[in-house]
Structure 1
Amino acid sequence: MDIKHYKITVTSEECGYRRSTEDAADLTAYLLSPMPQAPGRLRPAIVICPGGGYGFVSPREDQPVAMEFLAAGYQVFVLHYHVAPEIFPLALMELARSVALIKAHSREWCIDSSQIIVCGFSAGGHLAGCMGTMWNREFLYKPLGLTAEGIQPGGMILCYPVITSGEYGHQRSFSQLLGAGADQDPAMRRLVSLEHQAGPHVPRTFLWHTWTDQTVPVENSLLFASALRKAGVSLEMHIYPEGCHGLSLATEEVSDHTGDCLVPHCQGWINLAREWVAHGPNTGERTE
């Protein structure tokens, strides 16, 4: 296995506002070597966006999750995107440029380019959801010198995602994402409220949440599921009866001294997600 770091740069000119810093985002790649008995085998790729309310990038949803997907035989990438005081659409452009990089190297890295899946947690789930709903918008790909097809993800895994800026929204995430003033702009709030952006162009989606999440209410996932249903998008959704926000893997590895994030009943989501990936982009088609 190789571990590589790539600098993902988006300039002020490209993102449309004067950034507070021109520092690059970091994309960490965990790349498995080809197996001697199957040197031409193509692997799915998972691009992980940890959560943190657009105020930080959570380590609990970083390497522990990457190792689980790596163990399943996937090529795995973790994006440390920019957060506040940087604002929309910088992080989304960093994710778009990351997907484009992975597609450009798909042959070299033995990746099935139709199986590049964005995976996000909480606000990172919102970021991944933006990628899945906005990959075909000119404001996203054109300033980067890319094409819509060049940044199109093959699927989404959304874990207790921030979705709506409305009644059930996690308002701090949207304040951090949009910045002072813009967070009160109805047009901008609607743009980043993903239940309004769903359509038939959205890739197949795996979605999970807990019924008792008090930070990002389950209505976020229910609203998005309803929108995807109306758009005819393939969806697998799991709602667990108990569990706080930010469970990550729900294991002892990611839990602190309180034990709040140790919820054995929720630990199965990662296996369900891996089964969903293996099922392939088309109903009834299984990828090996």
Structure 2
Amino acid sequence: MERIELWPEGAPYSQGNDPEDRPALTPYLLEQAGPQTPAVVVLPGGGYGMRAQHEGEPIAQWLNSLGLHAFVLSYRVAPYKHPAPLTDAQRALRYVRSRAEEWGIDAGRLGILGFSAGGHLASTAGTHYDRGDEAAQDPVERFSCRPDFMVLCYPVISMGEFRHDGSRINLLGPEPSEADIQLFSNELQVTSDTPPTFLWHTSDDAAVPVENALLFAGALSRCKVPFELHSFQTGVHGLGLAEQHPEARVWPELCANWFKRQGLI
């Protein structure tokens, strides 16, 4: 599978030259698609310490089955801390937009999908973004890094009371400042410009409390941002496509229906 490095000459904040120091996109492009097909950047979870394989390629293949182009992002994880992961996610969105015409992608219908800590990174991309720098020497940096829609799957959202300790430590360090805790508690960063969002979680998630999804949904509601939230009564953390789970296995169908309502498929 092709692996496209986001910074072939070396990434910002790089600590070396190994593959883990070189963030990259793996594209899953539809062979037959119209010239204005939506696309999704996929962020696997792993507590900002790894990237779970079952939340990468299988998700891209599912998106392909719905008629969407997909890209799995190999973003940097520990020992990398903020701002490296967000820089990688923002660069991925800019990069896909920079090649949208070549790949037949609708640059105005580019979304982001993340699981667990990847959901935190996705929600960070959806609440901390810019529209691009028209004066940038690097042409990729001239493109917007705002996702047009988000799918957040059992996401880490808050760095406060309902945090996932491992994600917070890996991203912000063992003693983050109160300012960083606030800044990356993304339920506090939602505005009326935050992208429409589909969320799902399990109510008894023992690793990442369901309050993370509830807090984000509440913030979206207050800002009148369209959203859909599903919380299944039971289910361990990290279900991915949840094909064997009696309840959560329906989330891909529910998400596909939401895509249809958004005019994406």
User: Please, what TM-score do these two structures have when normalized by structure 2?
Assistant: 0.90
The answer for the alignment partner of 1:279 in structure 2 is 261
What does 1:18-57 correspond to in 2, within 5 Å? 19-22=14-17, 23-35=21-33, 40-57=34-51
Q: Is the 8 A contact 1:20 1:85 kept in 2?
A: no
CA root-mean-square deviation: 2.3
Give distance in 1, aligned partners of 2:123 and 2:16: 25
Aligned residue in 1 for 2:245: 263
Q: 1:100 is matched with which residue: 90, 94, 100?
A: 94
User: 2:195 — aligned with what?
Assistant: 203
Q: What's 2:6 paired with? A: 8
After superposition, residues 1-288 of structure 1 pair within 5 angstroms as 3-9=1-7, 14=12, 19-22=14-17, 23-35=21-33, 40-136=34-130, 146-147=141-142, 150-181=144-175, 183=176, 185-251=177-243, 262-280=244-262, 286-288=263-265
**Superimposed CA distance per residue, residues 228-250 of structure 1 (whole angstroms, 9 cap, x where no aligned partner):** 11111110111111101111111
Q: What residue identity is the alignment partner of 1:237? A: L
Change beyond 3 A, Cα 1:4–1:221: same
Decide whether aligned partners of structure 1 residues 69 and 12 sit closer, same or farther in structure 2, where only a CA change above 3 A counts: closer
Separation of aligned partners in 2, 1:277 and 1:131: 19
Query: Does structure 2 conserve the Cα–Cα contact (< 8 Å) formed by 1:34 and 1:110?
Result: no
Give 5+ residue unaligned stretches, structure 2.
none
Q: Quick one: distance in 2 between partners of 1:106 and 1:167? A: 40
Q: Which runs of 5+ in 1 are unaligned?
A: 252-261, 281-285
C-alpha distance 186-51 of structure 1, shift in aligned 2 (>3 A): same
Tell whether the 8 Å contact from 2:6 to 2:95 is kept in structure 1 after alignment: no
Paired with 1:13 and 1:41, the residues of 2 have a C-alpha distance of: 31
C-alpha displacement of 1:137: 8.7
Instruction: Write the distance in 2 (CA, Å) between the matches of 1:7 and 1:229.
Output: 37
Provide the C-alpha distance between the structure 2 equivalents of 1:127 and 1:9, rounded to a whole number of angstroms.
19
Distance 2:101 2:258 in 1: 23
Give the match's secondary structure for 1:116: strand
The two structures have a TM-score, normalised by structure 1, of 0.83
* Percent identity (aligned): 38
Runs ≥4 residues deviating over 3 A: 10-15, 142-145
- 1:42 to partner: Cα distance: 2.1
